[in-house]
Chains A and B, each alone.
Chain A
Amino acid sequence: MGTSITSWENVSAYFTFADNPLALMLFSLGVAGIVVGLIRFIMKHEAEAFDNHK
């Protein structure tokens, strides 16, 4: 469903959703979200772990 090509003739960028900038922006937001989510997850883990060892 995400392919950006229908033939290998004269192809340049051929990765999934290469012809759909909106989708690529959404994926970028997803990447950012995962990184931010990781840091939030670690903060939560730290808070709980530190509370458990007061």
Chain B
Amino acid sequence: MATETPTLESLQASLDAQQAIFNMHQAMNVEVFYWWCTAIMVMIHAGFLAYEMGASRSKNALAAGVKNILALAVIIPTFYLFGWWIYNAFPGGLMPVEASAALPWAQSMGPDVQDMGTGIFWAAFALFGATTGSIMSGAVIERIRVSAFLILTVILGSGVWILAGAWGWHPDGWMLTEMGYHDVGASGVVHAIAGFFTLGVLINLGPRVGKFINGVPQQIRAHNLPMTLIGLMMIIFGFFGFLGGCIIFNGGDTGWTTIYNNPTNLSAFAFNTLMGFAGGVIGCYIATRDPFWTMSGGLVGIISVAAGLDLYDPGLAFIIATCVSFIAVGAAKLLEKKGIDDAVGAVAVHGVTGVVAVILVGVFAGGTPNVGGNPAISLYGQTICAIIMAVLGFVPGYTVSYLLKKFNMLRVPENVEVLGLDEVEILAHPYPETVPAKSGTTTNVGDLEAKGA
């Protein structure tokens, strides 16, 4: 049987064909990775849904749930309209650069045979934005108007956080290029921003009726604590999608990098995510012995090490998470003493922990070089950027909620709050075959003190 002798040209053609197949599969792998990260991130919202409904009194359970579902539904289209453009247009600060390809009428913002990246990254970022909305959502339950909440959540989830993302979570962001900012797992750009935005809102929103009597904090009990705990564990599951979405799956022979283009890998993330989770649970359990806070400790732990997830020794990550848990619990107690009614501790768990996490990268990983001529990580740079994150979150949250309050658009009337939002707004009952629960105001000591914290 005669065989053709391969020529140089035929070998080259075969090699080119193989390379094209390899490149296509690599691009598909990137898509597949971020597709599943995004899908897993949806679990964060399922978790927030369960946890907020459980944390509410039964008279407000469905209202809390509907509010949370709508937050996801408004952040996705508004992130399509302007969130993705903000990320691409503002890495240099407040002056936009050319980013017309990220506008909603650009050809790149839709199905494109040649573009296997934009849609999948947009989706992941939209879900990051939705997470910020959900962080705020739990803190304001049982008294905020849904309309006001949706206005605030659009500003936070499709505006404020992504501006912070452009500054500190973009390969050309000024915080990286000027300050060497390091926040791979979004402790600052997502959690600190959302937490301090929420603080601004809570100041104007005020506490729930019955939360403070003569200035003394009362315990308002969750109507379904087990559902809240399961919801929190679902958020932890979703965190693996969230953190997976924080790493860059590169083509070619580069492999994994951080969003700052520094080398890393999923193994690094795996070590420190789990060690952070465990440390946080243990820390919050010791600090409170309270089931809600024990489970919230998992969030505190992961957020506390997320900024340096690629750099920490796992043992150090565990110790950081344990120690930061005490700071988070202390911050929650302090806020309550100051008259802030944060129904789920979001400001402490996300805001305070996020800021501390960013600073701790400067403490423990200062001097670590960045690639591309960017400055090395420093305590100075991390501290300045952490302060900027807190302020960038707080100011718009406070300002917009202040305006809503001035126009009487922020809070439901007191009689509605007493009656229950489900009865008035939702026209449905979460447990129609049971006797409606009464207001959970029972004791005259603060939540945490009552639980032995």
The residue in chain A whose Cβ has the minimal distance to the Cβ of B413 is A50
Is the beta-carbon distance between B105 and A46 smaller than 8 angstroms? no
B113 to chain A, nearest CB (A): 5
Q: Chain A interface: which of B77-85, B134-142, B266-274, B352-360?
A: B77-85
Most buried by B among A21, A35, A54: A35
Q: Does B115 contact A (CB under 8 A)?
A: yes
The answer, yes or no, to whether B110 is at the interface (CB within 8 Å) is yes
Return B105 CB to nearest CB of chain A, in Å.
4
Given the contacts A31-B104, A34-B77, A39-B147, A15 and B413 also touching, CB distance less than 8 Å: no
**What 1/0 flags go to A17-54 for Cβ under 8 Å of B?**
01001001101100110110011001101100110111
In the complex, which residue of chain A has the Cβ closest to the Cβ of B105? A24
Counting contact residues on chain A (CB < 8 A from B), the size range is 20 to 34
Closest to B109 in A: A24
Q: How far is the CA of A2 from the CA of B32 in the complex (A)?
A: 29
Task: Name which residue of chain A comes closest to B104, CB basis.
Answer: A28
Q: Tally chain B residues at the interface, Cβ within 8 Å.
A: 32
**A50–B113 touching, CB < 8 Å:** no
Q: Does A6 contact B (CB under 8 A)?
A: no
Closest residue of chain B to A12 (Cβ to Cβ) is B114
**Does A1 sit at the interface, judged by CB under 8 A?**
no
In the complex, chain B residues whose CB is within 8 Å of the CB of A12: 107, 112-115
- Asked whether, in the complex, the Cβ of A32 is within 8 Å of the Cβ of B74, the reply is no
**B114 contacts across to A, CB distance below 8 A:** 12-13
Q: Would A13 and B105 be within 8 Å (CB), given that A39-B147, A46-B145 are in contact?
A: no
- Residue from B106, B145, B147, B419 whose CB has the most chain A CB atoms within 10 Å: B147
Q: Is A15's CB under 8 angstroms from B111's CB?
A: yes
Q: B145 contacts which chain A residues (CB < 8 A)?
A: 43, 46
Known contacts A14-B113, A31-B81: A53-B419 contact under CB 8 Å: yes
Query: Which of B106, B112, B412 meets A14, CB within 8 Å?
Result: B112
Shortest beta-carbon distance from A19 to chain B in Å: 8
Q: Give A37 to B245 CA distance when docked, in angstroms.
A: 32
Partner of A54, one of B74, B107, B415, B423: B415
B residues apposed to A, CB below 8 Å? 70, 74, 77-78, 80-81, 104-108, 110-115, 145-147, 150-151, 154, 409, 412-413, 415-416, 419, 423-425
Interface residues of A (CB under 8 A from B): 11-15, 18, 21, 24-25, 27-28, 31-32, 34-35, 38-39, 42-43, 45-46, 49-50, 52-54
List of 3 A-B pairs having minimum Cβ-Cβ separation, nearest first: A24-B105, A13-B107, A15-B110
